[in-house]
Structure 1
Amino acid sequence: MTVLSVNVNKIAVLRNARGGRTPDVVRAATVCLDAGAHGITVHPRPDARHIRADDVLALAALCRGRGVEFNLEGNPFAPPRPGYPGFHALCAQARPAQATLVPDADSQLTSDHGFDFARDSARLRPHVAALRQLGCRVSLFVDAGGDVGAAAGVGADRIELYTGPYAAAYAAGAAETALAACTDSARRAAAAGLGVNAGHDLSQDNLAAFLSAVPGVLEVSIGHALIDEALYAGLDATVRGYLRLLAAT
């Protein structure tokens, strides 16, 4: 069965908007794990717009104590700065089970594209090797339809399919082309010996169709839609809704 990793970035967005310590990121992650989520994901940005370095360490300790996956996302090329020691340094402190590398610039509101392997492979290779030496499984954020097999060439264990275009096409009632690209990419990744994760704008509305069509998805990382749905249904009930959906597909 595909496993669910809940991204709790949006909890930190709410906290930081007001200041102080509430809502509490670790408490929210604990509710998700108590409801049955298989892991927790965060994507700390260098500008600390949501998840901060201290959150990373606290969530890593929570996941370690619960025996579940902690998935840390970030741009390996972003330089350190005050409050952000750099992605590798955070991984060295937190020792996440999975490190997901994403090519997001500081100016991006959210991740919106995968790596350009023709440009980035040589720079990625030493970062991937260093993370694997820390004991991290390494996943690379990729565009559906792109050169997903190149991820194997830089030493990655998995890819994470960027599903934003699929979600937008699904909402518009025309998901076939985007879904076919995801399906083809998953098959090519598997042929290259890579595991397949997926994430971005997946929701209870579009997830079943995605998993029914795309083979071998090991993990989905879901944050924005899950927190949106939880505003109305509650966090525990929403996580359980996703788990029922995953169990049925």
Structure 2
Amino acid sequence: MTRLSVNINKIATLRNSRGGDNPNVIKVALDCERFGAQGITVHPRPDERHIRYQDVYDLKEVLRTEFNIEGNPLEKKFVELVLANKPDQVTLVPDTLQAITSNSGWDTIRHRAQLTDLIGQFKAAKIRVSVFVDADPHMVEGAKLCGADRVELYTEPYAADYFENRQRAILPFIQAAEIAREVGLGLNAGHDLSLDNLKFICQSIPWLDEVSIGHALIADALYFGLENTIQMYLRETVL
């Protein structure tokens, strides 16, 4: 069974739109755990337009499942935040400040020196490190050379092509996943995964450790309710 980590950034976006504390990010995270989610993911950005840095400290105090912090480690404040909170996992994502959402993986060959140094810092703090990569075997191998524990495959291209030809869409992800397994890397996936396409990727890559899902899950919760939605997603991860 692939583990489900719920990304709660959209909850923070809704909260911040009114400047108060409704919905309460901490309560929603705890409810996600209570409803069956096996992890909570946050992706703080320097402008704090959704998850705030203080949210990370507050979540660290109360979460009982896996805590995954995503972000760009080239931002010094992000590195300091992660080292101060020591989550179960840090996912390194090369997004820029202007990016609406993550839209590409690392070039783990070109950035090998930087990533190796940063990964070493996080692993010294006993934090599992996942590197966000495109479904490219060379980038997966590069992540291994940098010292990563896992890779997270950027699945937007899979989701975009799913309805036109799902067999074609999944093929590069299977190939990248097989390389990850061969070199001894754990495997995560995330971005644009939904109730439409989640089961197929879990069935096609049964050794997939974890999926991180936020936007689609929170959107579905508007119609189905949060508890029911989490249960629906969990059923999609069972082979």
For the 8 Å contact 2:108–2:146, the answer to whether it is kept is no
The match for 1:15 is: 15
Alpha-carbon distance between aligned partners in 1 of 2:228 and 2:113, rounded to the nearest angstrom: 44
Percent of aligned pairs with the same amino acid:
50
- Secondary structure of the residue aligned to 1:12 is helix
Counterpart of 1:75 (choices 64, 72, 75) is 72
Mapped pair 1:134 → 2:125:
yes
Alpha-carbon distance between aligned partners in 1 of 2:191 and 2:80, rounded to the nearest angstrom: 25
Alpha-carbon distance between aligned partners in 1 of 2:68 and 2:13, rounded to the nearest angstrom: 18
For the 8 Å contact 1:187–1:215, the answer to whether it is kept is no
The match for 1:101 is: 92
The match for 1:55 is: 55
Alpha-carbon distance between aligned partners in 2 of 1:74 and 1:231, rounded to the nearest angstrom: 27
The match for 2:152 is: 160
TM superposition score normalised by structure 1:
0.93
Task: Please show how residues 115-130 of structure 1 align to structure 2 within 5 Å.
Answer: 115-130=106-121
- After superposing on structure 2, the runs of 4+ consecutive aligned residues of structure 1 that deviate more than 3 Å are none
Deviation sequence 1:33-86 (CA, Å, 0-9, x none):
0011101000000110100011011111122xx2x110000100124xxxxxx1
Alpha-carbon distance between aligned partners in 2 of 1:110 and 1:43, rounded to the nearest angstrom: 10
For the 8 Å contact 1:69–1:97, the answer to whether it is kept is yes
The match for 2:141 is: 149
2:72 aligned partner, one-letter code: N
**Contiguous gaps of at least 5 residues in structure 1:** 80-85
- Secondary structure of the residue aligned to 2:189 is strand
**Contiguous gaps of at least 5 residues in structure 2:** none
Question: Following TM superposition, by how much is the alpha carbon of 1:146 offset from its aligned partner in structure 2, in angstroms?
Answer: 4.5
Alpha-carbon distance between aligned partners in 2 of 1:146 and 1:20, rounded to the nearest angstrom: 45
- Secondary structure of the residue aligned to 1:30 is helix
Task: Count matched residues.
Answer: 238
